[in-house]
Structures are given as C-alpha cells and as structure tokens.
Amino acid sequence: KQLQEMGFSEHGCRRAALATSNAGLEQALNWAFGHSETDPDFNKPLPGSKKKKAKKKQPRVMPIELQRLFSKMQLLNICSVSTEDLTRKGFNFTSADAQVQHDAHELILKLLASTENHLLKTRGAPLVPQLFEGTMQAQLRCLACG
C-alpha cells in the first residue's frame, strides 16, 4: 500500500513484496526502484493472479512525488533525474508545455505551493513557511570602483 502511494503500480508492488519476501518497506522500495524501469514484467500481473477491475488513478500528491524523486537520486547515487513526468502529470501541463524548460523560480513556487497545499491539515502544515522564513537583504556595488 505504501509503495502504491509513492506511485508504483499495484503489480509492481506485489512483485517487490514477493521478491523481498515481504521483508519491509525499505527493502521493497529499493527493489522497486532498481526494477521499475529495467524489468519489462514489473507492471504485469503475477502469474496466476486474478484480474481486478481497474481502479480510478489517484491524483499525485506532491510531497510524496518529491520524496520519490529524492529517494531515487539517493538510491541510484545520481545528481539529477528527469522531472518531465512530474511536471506533465503533476501540474497537468500539455505535452508541449512539458517539453519547454520552465523558469526555475516558477517551478519552485509551484512545488512549494503544492507541497504547502497538501500539508494544510496535517502536523506538517507549518513546514514550508518555517523553512523559508527570514529577511532578505540586497546590496548594490559599483562594478567600476568596487
């Protein structure tokens, strides 16, 4: 269930639980990250499992999507990952919009607003304002005389 909330398919979650002998969330998450993009059978039903009616796909929860991105970066020990899927599906950009590189400031504002909105009625509600509160300072300096 927790893996599904992170965006993995039901069949992929079942495969992760089976492959790790249901050892725990961390092991299943590591297995899922390692196989979700490389294993062609990852999203297919397990042999012998019965087909269920397709459920309506849940909307993306931005804090979980961001956690998933950062977990993937940490697990794979990489410095960057593609956010195209997140911007296209998470913000409902059209395919043309998703292909255009958006202003970094606009993206961070959308991510923060979405995160703050999802945390509104939770204990984490003050998190975003607390992280970014403070005072701004500006300084002007002459380039000719220093």
* pLDDT score for 107: 72
User: Which residues of the chain form CATH 1.10.8.10?
Assistant: 1-49
Q: What is the DSSP letter of 53?
A: P
Hey, what are 58's tokens? 């849940």
* pLDDT score for 54: 59
Calpha distance 133→146 (Å, rounded): 31
Hey, what are 96's tokens? 């043309």
* pLDDT score for 88: 64
* pLDDT score for 104: 65
The model carries a pTM of 0.35
- Per-position pLDDT tens, the chain of length 146: 677 877 788 888 888 888 888 888 888 888 888 887 778 888 888 777 666 555 666 656 667 777 787 788 788 877 777 776 666 666 666 555 555 555 666 777 777 888 888 888 888 888 888 877 777 777 778 888 87
CA proximity to 29, closest of 17, 37, 42, 41: 17
User: Does domain 1-49 correspond to CATH entry 1.10.8.10?
Assistant: yes
Task: Give me the count of residues in the chain.
Answer: 146
* pLDDT score for 96: 57
Number of H helices, E strands in the chain: 8, 0
Q: What is the DSSP letter of 58?
A: P
Calpha distance 127→142 (Å, rounded): 38
